[in-house]
Structure 1
């Protein structure tokens, strides 16, 4: 079974990347993939939605919402 190691490290002076993996025997050939972390901080979906402008509101009052829901429920009974 192949084991995958996920290691986070910092690029060192001279554009070097160095890490220690005690579970790997010396002399073993390994494959290394480097994925740079995004410089842009990630935000949650909720935070993103808060940044969007408000669109036109379908219902102006809670009573209109209740009326719409009741109409939908009545349609199920037909």
Structure 2
């Protein structure tokens, strides 16, 4: 019984660590892309906040510091509660 429990625990640890690596890699992608996207923004904190939200949902960020939203339709089409574009 102890051997089965140890085996299940080991499998859970391996799965958890692999999922953590995928999550951290995605976060690094969004951080670097959003830093570039918001580099010239007047209000960087809010630009980075909303860019990261959009990036995590869409898994893409348009190139450049402004425009080019045609490169990522999901990013382009996200709207806030007032119906205005959510993503910078």
TM-score (norm 2): 0.21
Larger Rg: 1
TM-score (norm 1): 0.22
